[in-house]
Structure 1
Amino acid sequence: MKESTKQLILLQEDYQLLKSHTRLVAENESIESKSARKLAAELENNPLVLERDLFPKDVIRIHSEVTLQDLKTKKEVSFTLVLPGEANVQLKKVSIYAPMGTAVIGYKQGDEFRWEMPSGERAYTILRVTNPE
């Protein structure tokens, strides 16, 4: 679904967690299972997996603060990417298995991507990425 030839970059600990957890979520019939299946496919597509000391500061990972801009409407949206149990719309914490969470993981500041959202396919650019230390 991501119309990009860019290789995903993932933090080693995120990759290991997502590889095991994504299979379980994908097998369930839940709201998150469709996104989990898409993410599982992305994880099989030879991502670049890096240790923390080599991980670029502008690449989205779990607990990244992200600001995107919709390429059509120019509207900006900001959120923190989190694990499902931490998701909270009011606090702008988006689950890795929400369509937007699945779309952004492994991409970096400046990247553009297209992704199928509940409202249809959308195109975004990643304006800012802030990662915890």
Structure 2
Amino acid sequence: MKISTKGRYGLTIMIELARNFGDGPISLKSIARDKNLSEHYLEQLASPLRNAGLIKSIRGAYGGYILAKKPGEITAGDIIRVLEGPITPVEGIEEEEPAKQALWLRIRDAVKDVLDTTTLDDLKDHEDDQQQESYMFYI
């Protein structure tokens, strides 16, 4: 399974919203600017995320997007399925010979397990840890 820019950038949006959870709406423009991404592309990704009930849009001068649930209640799997579709390593698994079919199913189940047990809380915390570890101090 290959995750496209839809899934990768969708995760970026959701992680940023999780990092700012409870602080009010965040504009896609600010996320696009901070992450050097296309605002127009992020807008295209926000629509299915909103339709799936993962984010809410807030209108107005200080509007933007917020998470529809707490970061610990949204998994990477929720996001990837909305933007990429079903999680499957190969098409037509049922047509494979039994040995290969068993392998593909094990791979699928392992990927699903990782995606479905990794929440936005986990991802935002990991990103915060990475940023703290990347500071360089000169003495």
TM-score of the two chains, using structure 2 as the length reference: 0.27
Q: Tell me which structure has the larger Cα radius of gyration.
A: 2
Structure with more of its chain in helix, by fraction: 2
